[in-house]
């Protein structure tokens, strides 16, 4: 039987990882995204130090029990933070798109259609649009990278007959003045939502304002699977309109959400894959899933479907979607 003395020898194997998790939880949970709080960090370090020290100070099972109880208290505090749709949202995130349907007709309410100046200011606009599932023609995997290897944002654009496009993008729902912090994104700082946007908004924001490398890759899927993917994303979008959820950098992000939709409509389970966690490599994954255009390699897709180099030469008008594709 393990004695308290022998147990103390191994207690750091348990308490140190828990202490790190506790320090991060106290530092980031419920904080304002992008704003680092020194007092919260100091409190987190203090509680973490207490958690590690208790077994050695008390030199008994009671010390370990108290450390675990401290973890439970912090865990309960973390769990008490619940997502909400009622906050001071930034204007681009002020509405949550949602859909209603009538047979094959799907109406998305609050499609975002902002016009952005290069300095990031905008002219706000929203509209409702109806999409006929019988007229869905193509989906496009949109990839935009941020200069750090593997770090990227991914979206899906759907084209319907008559050059009607809508982009569905899974994002953090920013409050006024809030910035993105990937560590904070693990600790309940941001709600997640699906933006339904006009390509002149979602795509031009990346190419004309952020000026990030951006690709529009046609997805090798027929109209039936494309329609199923569209409906699955629309359902999740509408569910979040009614019941908010937390964003999570690791488990509930733009790329993990798209992976879940793929799994759902194909009734498969993707194995753990770094290319989902780091979507800058996601084009390699969609190649393995046979979703690139036939006979095309990742390198060829990267070369052929990049649009950011010519984007700023194209007017953001009613011909934008057609023009940016024909420019490749």
- Same domain for 271 and 238? yes
pLDDT at 103 over 60: yes
Q: Are strands 164-173 and 191-197 parallel, antiparallel or unpaired?
A: antiparallel
Domain that holds residue 284: 91-326
pLDDT at 321 over 60: yes
Residue 12 lies in a domain: yes
Cα–Cα distance, 28 to 188 (Å, whole number): 8
Q: Which two tokens stand for residue 206?
A: 């990346």
pLDDT, tens digit, for every residue of 62-96?
Answer: 877 888 899 999 999 999 999 999 999 999 999 99
The residue out of 51, 79, 107 marking a domain boundary is 79
Residue 38 lies in a domain: yes
Residue 84 lies in a domain: no
Q: What's the rounded mean pLDDT across residues 130-155?
A: 95
pLDDT at 3 over 60: no
* pTM recorded for the entire structure: 0.92
pLDDT at 58 over 80: no
pLDDT at 11 over 70: no
- Same domain for 111 and 242? yes
DSSP structure string for 40-67 = HHHHHHHHHHHHHHHHHHH-SHHHHHHH
The residue out of 50, 79, 108 marking a domain boundary is 79
- Same domain for 96 and 75? no
The residue out of 79, 109, 140 marking a domain boundary is 79
Cα–Cα distance, 224 to 260 (Å, whole number): 18
- Same domain for 67 and 158? no
| pLDDT at residue number 326 | 86
- Are 207 and 214 in contact by the 8 Å Cβ rule? The answer is yes
Residue 86 lies in a domain: no
Q: Are strands 214-218 and 245-246 parallel, antiparallel or unpaired?
A: unpaired
- Same domain for 22 and 102? no
What is the percent of the chain with per-residue pLDDT over 70, rounded to a whole number?
Answer: 96
- Same domain for 190 and 130? yes
| pLDDT at residue number 26 | 95
- Type and span of the H or E element at 200: helix 199-204
| pLDDT at residue number 2 | 46
| pLDDT at residue number 57 | 78
| pLDDT at residue number 1 | 46
- Same domain for 68 and 128? no
- Same domain for 292 and 318? yes
pLDDT, tens digit, for every residue of 292-315?
Answer: 999 999 999 999 999 998 888 999
- Same domain for 156 and 19? no
Q: How many domains does the chain have?
A: 2
246 versus 33: the higher-pLDDT residue is 246
- Same domain for 138 and 264? yes
- Same domain for 58 and 139? no
- Same domain for 131 and 179? yes
Question: Terminus-to-terminus CA distance in the chain, angstroms?
Answer: 71
Residue 85 lies in a domain: no
| pLDDT at residue number 36 | 81
Residue 284 lies in a domain: yes
- What lies within 8 Å, CB to CB, of 272 at 6+ separation is none
pLDDT, tens digit, for every residue of 182-235?
Answer: 999 999 999 999 999 999 999 999 999 999 999 999 999 999 999 999 999 999
- Type and span of the H or E element at 106: strand 105-112
């Amino acid at each position: 039987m393990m004695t308290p003395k022998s147990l103390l020898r191994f207690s750091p194997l348990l308490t140190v990882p828990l202490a790190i998790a506790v320090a991060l939880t106290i530092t980031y949970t419920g904080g304002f995204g992008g704003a680092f709080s020194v007092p919260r960090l100091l409190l987190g370090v203090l509680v973490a130090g207490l958690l590690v020290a208790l077994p050695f100070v008390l030199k008994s099972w009671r010390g370990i029990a108290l450390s675990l109880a401290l973890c439970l208290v912090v865990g309960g505090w973390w769990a008490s933070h619940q997502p909400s749709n009622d906050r001071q949202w930034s204007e681009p995130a002020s509405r949550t798109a949602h859909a209603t349907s009538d047979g094959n007709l799907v109406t998305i309410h609050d499609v975002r259609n902002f016009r952005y100046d290069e300095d990031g200011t905008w002219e706000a606009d929203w509209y409702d649009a109806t999409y006929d599932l019988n007229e869905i023609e193509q989906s496009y995997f949109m990839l935009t990278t941020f200069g750090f290897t593997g770090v990227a944002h991914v979206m899906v654009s759907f084209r319907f007959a008559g050059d009607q496009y809508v982009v569905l993008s899974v994002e953090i729902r920013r409050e006024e003045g809030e910035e993105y912090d990937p560590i904070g994104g693990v600790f309940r700082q941001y709600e997640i939502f699906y933006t339904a946007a006009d390509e002149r908004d979602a795509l031009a924001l990346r190419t004309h304002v952020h000026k990030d490398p951006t690709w529009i890759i046609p997805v090798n899927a027929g109209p039936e699977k494309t329609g199923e993917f569209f409906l699955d994303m629309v359902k999740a979008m509408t569910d979040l309109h009614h019941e908010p959820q937390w964003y999570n950098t690791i488990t509930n992000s733009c790329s993990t959400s798209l992976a879940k939709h793929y799994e759902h409509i194909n009734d498969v389970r993707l194995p753990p894959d770094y290319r989902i966690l780091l979507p800058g490599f996601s084009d390699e994954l969609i190649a393995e899933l046979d979703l690139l255009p036939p006979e095309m390699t990742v390198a060829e897709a990267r070369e052929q479907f990049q649009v950011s180099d010519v984007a700023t030469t194209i007017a953001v008008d009613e011909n934008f979607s057609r023009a940016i594709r024909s420019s490749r």
